[in-house]
Amino acid sequence: MDYKKQILNILHSENESRAEMTRRLGVTKAYITKLTSQLLAERLIEEREVKDVTFGRPQQMLAVKSYAWYSVNIMLRRGNVQASLNDYNTQLPPLTTHTRMLPEVMTPSGLTAELVACVKALCESSQLPMSRIKVVSVALQGGIEHFTGVVRYCPLFVDNNVNLRALVEESTGIPTRVYNIAHCTTYLLAKLSPGMSWVAFMPGFGSLGYGYCMNGQTGLGENGFYPEIVHLPWEGGIEQAFNVDENRQQETLLTTAKALYFAICCTAPVHNIKTVIVTGELFEDYGDAILPLAQSMLDNSSDRHISEIRIRHYKTGYHYGVKGLVQLSADSITDLLV
């Protein structure tokens, strides 16, 4: 494990003390002191306020250096782009944001041109030269290879197997990362539940995100392919089943609960996972009605591998994936700095 990177990836999202990082990383205080001294000398981190504690000495808080490195973060959904320019210190608010409508279907070259224009617009709005941008991160729906940046398929494209990472890097000269939108939320859920194993369902904005975590490590497939759940054999499509129609509320609440139960049965028992996390916009609005129904179905199963499963609702609010995307960018900046 590269503990310097681990320290930076803690400090880009929160101010923390050497003592707390010693506890979280499981190494000696002397080793953490040595590494943080090196990072201070390299001007990658800086000292902040001194925090009083109930027992023991006051603790010097640390954070990554602010106003030195930046990322552009672009969330793409069919017909819409939401973007921001962010500091490496993700505790700071965005320098500027940019939203606009897009055609529902685009060519790879057309989307690349839109992304380049978005980066330029953000830089011009904040009066920041493009040379100060360390990473461009793009999140979109569909089958995404995180390690290669290849979009195998996506509702935005007619084309398959589009190397979006290469297209954007060639056009901007900036290192680029490409993620599945659901991964941005899964990444944060893993940080909230260190060491745990779970599957997660994240319906919202017309899509159904899925993720899983084994002993604290999020799961990916070949070339970092993000897991897709939309292929499960549910009549009419499993993604479409996660939907509440106000005109048929009771009926569609039950249908959604049945679809969630089905999806859990198809995924969690495979690795003997007992925890299911649900989050996302649909559950923000209707979770209190849907989740007791689904949990009752699990409880009443004759199979103990299913009846022992418990659903946890993480009320993360709206646009939680955007926060995850920004933090993923900061992790990528860490990789470039160390």
Query: DSSP for 197-249?
Result: -EEEEEEETTEEEEEEEETTEE---GGGBPP--TTS--TT-HHHHS---GGGH
Q: Both 154 and 258 in a single domain?
A: no
Model pLDDT for residues 27-44, shown as the tens digit of each residue: 999 999 999 999 999 999
Give 122's contacts (C-beta < 8 A, 6+ positions apart): 72, 83, 84, 85, 95, 96, 97, 98
Q: Give the pTM.
A: 0.92
Q: Which residues of the chain have pLDDT under 50?
A: none
**Beta bridge partners of residue 180, listed in sequence order:** 140
- What local confidence, expressed as pLDDT, does residue 53 receive? 63
Two structure tokens written together for 316: 């993360």
Q: Both 105 and 148 in a single domain?
A: yes
Q: Is 311 helix (H, G, I), strand (E, B) or coil?
A: strand
Q: Both 198 and 307 in a single domain?
A: yes
CB 226 within 8 A of CB 182: yes
CA-to-CA distance for 329 and 177, rounded, in angstroms?
8
For residue 160, the Cα-to-chain-centroid distance in whole angstroms is 23
Two structure tokens written together for 79: 């017909």
Q: Both 114 and 155 in a single domain?
A: yes
293 within domain boundaries:
yes
CB 242 within 8 A of CB 210: no
Q: Is 65 helix (H, G, I), strand (E, B) or coil?
A: coil
Q: Both 26 and 86 in a single domain?
A: no
If you search the block for the tokens 């969690």, which residue do you land on?
Answer: 268
Count of domains in the chain? 3
Two structure tokens written together for 120: 């330029």
- What local confidence, expressed as pLDDT, does residue 57 receive? 72
167 within domain boundaries:
yes
Two structure tokens written together for 33: 């002191």
- CATH of residue 30: 1.10.10.10
Two structure tokens written together for 304: 């103990």
- What local confidence, expressed as pLDDT, does residue 128 receive? 96
Q: Both 163 and 83 in a single domain?
A: yes
284 within domain boundaries:
yes
Supply φ then ψ for residue 73, to 5 degrees. Answer: -125, 125
Q: How far is CA 206 from CA 101, 109, 194, in A?
A: 16, 25, 29
Q: Both 53 and 90 in a single domain?
A: no
Of 48, 64, 80, the last residue of a domain is: 64
For residue 67, the Cα-to-chain-centroid distance in whole angstroms is 23
- What local confidence, expressed as pLDDT, does residue 113 receive? 96
Q: Which run of H or of E encompasses 320?
A: helix 320-337
User: CA torsion, points 308, 203, 159, 150, in degrees to nearest 10?
Assistant: -60
Q: Could you give the strand order of the β-sheet that contains 16-17, starting from the edge strand earlier in sequence?
A: 16-17, 59-64, 45-51
- Domain, as residue range, for 301: 191-313
Q: Both 20 and 107 in a single domain?
A: no
Q: Both 177 and 197 in a single domain?
A: no
Q: Both 42 and 146 in a single domain?
A: no
CB 177 within 8 A of CB 133: no
- What local confidence, expressed as pLDDT, does residue 55 receive? 63
CA-to-CA distance for 155 and 140, rounded, in angstroms?
9
- CATH of residue 132: 3.30.420.40
**Beta bridge partners of residue 208, listed in sequence order:** 203
- What local confidence, expressed as pLDDT, does residue 52 receive? 65
Of 129, 149, 183, the last residue of a domain is: 183
Q: Both 299 and 217 in a single domain?
A: yes
296 within domain boundaries:
yes
Q: Both 230 and 117 in a single domain?
A: no
130 within domain boundaries:
yes
Q: Is 120 helix (H, G, I), strand (E, B) or coil?
A: helix
Listing DSSP states for 105-146 in one string gives SB-HHHHHHHHHHHHHHHHHHHT--GGGEEEEEEEESSEEET
If you search the block for the tokens 């199963």, which residue do you land on?
Answer: 301
329 within domain boundaries:
no
142 within domain boundaries:
yes
320 within domain boundaries:
no
